[in-house]
Chains A and B, each alone.
Chain A
């Protein structure tokens, strides 16, 4: 049976046809060949020049088609991410989907006081432990920007918190290559050395240069450091449709694809075969407020197109889910985030971040995180599709129960009902029982569960000697930065 993706048993979803993907590839190739990219990084420009790219002036690079095709041949089609114990945790390939939080929100929507305030170290640690407990959160990002540590140390301190408060894989932000090296050091001491880390990557580096058609030095630095260490990295340029990429979804895809491919070429020249996650971050500009927004229908379509391009190139891909523009965890928050989550799952986007983002990514809500955990659970069941083997077609059970009977007392029901999705935060009580349970809204139930998780969930700790090594790396960095 021909299917567009391998979502379970033939569940079919794609945004672009094969021919449309080919058209976008051709258009992006034209941009790279005719318009080129400005790359503010001498080593990268030199790598490109030697590989046969055309360089005008100091750093304006034009990419011939064969150079793209060469990079697409050497880049791996699948990347496995491991947890802190060295167990495989995410197979980034095909239409597999994984979900995680976002990084560096400025404000924490305190679930218990309702206050919108800066993140402190203990908030980020507690939030990370909650992620560790949630079954549908597969990886973590730093969630909150620490307000109580020295600014140059923020990324390093965030990493130290993540690695000590969850065993799940991480996607990490680093302000420059030097920061990334320190983060890799910390990860290496936790998993037993750099070679081990390269073999079983616990972290992926996050790189987000700014469109249009240019790459800043720090982004390329990080890209090259990731290639050098063999750490998986994304290279998701960030754009605002209508400002830094075209307002049409097709045009945004053409430019996004050109920028992503240019990053892939540089990355593969540095170390052929190094793991690269294809992607792009497009937040369309709202034309009334000039705000970059999440999860509009066009942004969701854009992601579908991008995922289909990744499948067309046979590359793992990066995207978004569970994020919104609402200021509090209200109806808009749940509508926007859930629509993005379900669509991202159906698109088959391999690794989706920003679950729990509110207010265009400026604020994080743990209630939304818990509600999204439930939405992801629902989406995952849908992805599994319909089993049509004899046991699931249940002819015998239907014959057994017969006209006027009831399946509730039949063994087939007892044997298979657990395969169906079960609610956790969603309330399926009748009105009377819902009232007896305190007439709670979903957000209230989420807060109650949060409280429970914060008190009762204790992630696997890192050994004392690892903790000491992490402290040592932080101290050394702090001393070096003065």
Chain B
């Protein structure tokens, strides 16, 4: 228990060297790999989430903690069957057709991953058909679309429609974001949610993936 506590502390401190060593020691001592994730690595990350919300930690520190957590997860992953792998949920995400702006989307990806989501990042300039294909292939809980331009945000509706036509709309939650996007636009095009920043997007995915 104490060593789980120390591991969580190392995750909070973003100390990947220590996390790596401690994880390896536990694996060598035959500690249950799922417990390593849930009680050690994720436990630390949960504290990070709370501290970030309270304003006691900043984004770059959250990123370091997330990296520390993944260093540990990489080591235990081969010991766990895919289906048993603890995950907050799966998200497919991309910037819509005609739009190459992805700073905001990258931030969302980083925040989602640090909250324990499995993220499939399609990249930029993704046509409605690309989203449909990715949803078919990865079967995510949530699909996220991003746009910076008022001209390209219209592609979000095309994607929602394409998901409907492919009969996938009921199987996946759709969320949208980006500077020109707002809540009423999200409702207009039939999305399930809108988030104004990466932290809110992460909370939204947590709610939608439940």
Q: Which of A175, A288, A291 contacts B151 (CB 8 A)?
A: A175
Least Cβ distance of B152 to chain A in Å? Answer: 10
Asked, given contacts A106-B180, A287-B59, A290-B198, whether A210 binds B103 with beta carbons under 8 Å apart, the answer is: yes
For the A-B complex, the count of residue pairs with Cβ-Cβ distances under 8 Å equals 41
8 Å CB contact of A288 from B58, B101, B106, B149: B58
Smallest beta-carbon distance B91→chain A, Å:
17
A451, chain B: closest CB distance, angstroms: 30
Residues from chain A with Cβ under 8 Å of B59 in the complex:
242, 285, 287-288, 290
* Given contacts A151-B150, A243-B107, A291 and B101 within 8 Å (CB-CB): no
A362: which B residues are within 8 A, CB to CB? Answer: 179
* A216 at interface, CB cutoff 8 A: yes
Assess whether A210 is in contact with B100, with CB atoms less than 8 Å apart: yes
Give B71-105 interface residues, CB cut-off 8 Å to A. Answer: 100-101, 103
Interface majority SS (helix, strand, loop, mixed), chain A: loop
User: Which residue of chain B is the closest to A176 with respect to CB atoms?
Assistant: B151
Which residue, of B60, B111, B150, has the highest number of chain A Cβ atoms within 10 A? B150
A210 vs B125: C-alpha distance when bound (angstroms): 14
> Which of A145, A152, A154, A287 touches B60 (beta carbons < 8 Å)?
A287
- A395 to B17: give the CA distance in the assembly, Å: 73
User: What residues of chain B lie closer than 8 Å to A145, measured between beta carbons?
Assistant: 150, 180
Contact between chains at B55 and A288 (CB < 8 Å) = yes
Bound-state CA distance A290–B107 (Å) is 8
Measured between alpha carbons, how far is A307 from B59 in the docked complex, in Å? 30
Contact with B along A230-254 (1 / 0, CB 8 A): 0000000000101110010000000
- B154 partner residues in chain A, CB cutoff 8 A: 151
Q: In the complex, how many angstroms separate the beta carbon of A179 from the nearest chain B beta carbon? A: 11
CA distance A393 to B106 in the complex (A): 60
State A290–B60 Cα separation when bound (angstroms).
10
Residue A399 interfacial (CB < 8 Å) = no
Which residue of chain B has its CB nearest to the CB of A106? B180
Q: Which residues of B contact A288 (CB under 8 A)?
A: 55, 58-59
Would you list which residues of chain B between 107 and 125 have a CB under 8 Å from chain A?
107, 111
Q: A151-B154, A216-B100 are in contact. Are A175 and B55 (CB under 8 A)?
A: no
Residues of A within 8 A of B55 (CB): 288
Decide yes or no whether B199 CB sits under 8 A from chain A.
yes
Residues B149 and A175 in contact, CB atoms below 8 Å apart: yes
Q: How large is the interface on B (under 10, 10 to 19, 20 to 34, 35 or more residues)?
A: 10 to 19
Residue of B nearest to A152 (CB): B151
| Cβ contact within 8 Å between A154 and B150 | yes
* Chain B residues closer than 8 Å to A437, beta-carbon distance: none
- Which chain B residues border A243 with CB–CB below 8 Å? 103, 106-107
Chain B 181-193 per-residue mask, 1 if CB under 8 angstroms from chain A, else 0: 0000000000000
Say yes or no: is B197 at the interface (Cβ < 8 Å to chain A). yes
**Interface size of A in residues (CB-CB distance below 8 Å):** 20
In the docked arrangement, what's the CA distance between A37 and B100, Å? Answer: 16
Q: What 1/0 flags go to A438-457 for Cβ under 8 Å of B?
A: 00000000000000000000
Bound CA–CA A152/B149 (angstroms): 11
Evaluate contact between A289 and B197: CB separation under 8 angstroms: yes
Bound state CA distance, A70 and B106, in angstroms? 37
Assess whether B103 is in contact with A244, with CB atoms less than 8 Å apart.
Answer: yes
B102 CB → nearest A CB, Å:
8
A-facing mask of B40-58, CB < 8 A → 1, else 0? 0000000000000001001
Are B103 and A240 within 8 A (Cβ)? yes
Q: Is the CB of B179 within 8 A of A106?
A: yes
A240-B103, A362-B179 known; A290+B199 contact, CB < 8 A: yes
A210-B101, A210-B103, A243-B103 are contacts. A151–B180 as well, Cβ < 8 Å?
A: no
Q: How far apart are the CA atoms of A90 and B103 in the complex, in Å?
A: 35
Q: A175 to B58, alpha carbons, bound, how many Å?
A: 35
In whole angstroms, how far apart are the Cα atoms of A285 and B199 in the complex?
14
Within 8 A of B (CB), among A275-290: 285, 287-290
Distance in Å from the Cβ of B167 to the closest Cβ of chain A? 30
Query: CA A243 – CA B199 in complex, angstroms?
Result: 15
Chain B residue at minimum C-beta to C-beta distance from A216: B100
Q: CA separation between A445 and B111, bound complex, in Å? A: 45
Q: How far is the CA of A14 from the CA of B149 in the complex (A)?
A: 37
A287 to B100, CA, bound (A): 24
**Cβ contact within 8 Å between A290 and B197:** yes
* Chain A, Cβ-Cβ closest to B55: A288
CB-nearest residue of chain A to B61: A287
For residues 171 through 227 of chain A, which have their beta carbon under 8 Å from a beta carbon of chain B?
175, 210, 216
Within 8 A of B (CB), among A99-150: 106, 145
Q: Which residue of B lies closest to A291 (CB)?
A: B197
Query: With A151-B150, A151-B154, A175-B151 known to touch, is A287 a contact of B179 (CB < 8 Å)?
Result: no
Min distance, Cβ B100 to any Cβ of chain A, angstroms: 5
Q: Please, how many angstroms separate the alpha-carbon atoms of A244 and B60 in the complex?
A: 13
Complex alpha-carbon distance, A285 and B63, angstroms: 14
Q: Determine the chain B residues whose CB is within 8 A of the CB of A210 once the complex forms.
A: 100-101, 103
Q: Which residues of A contact B106 (CB under 8 A)?
A: 243
Q: A478 to B199, alpha carbons, bound, how many Å? A: 40
Distance in angstroms between the alpha carbons of A244 and B55 in the assembled complex: 23
5 residue pairs of the A-B complex, CB under 8 angstroms, read: A154-B151, A247-B60, A287-B58, A287-B59, A290-B198
Interface residues of B (CB under 8 A from A): 55, 58-60, 100-101, 103, 106-107, 111, 149-151, 154, 179-180, 197-199
Given A216-B100, A247-B60, A287-B58, 12 other A-B residues pairs in contact with their CB atoms under 8 A: A106-B179, A106-B180, A175-B151, A210-B100, A285-B59, A287-B60, A288-B55, A288-B59, A289-B199, A290-B111, A290-B198, A362-B179
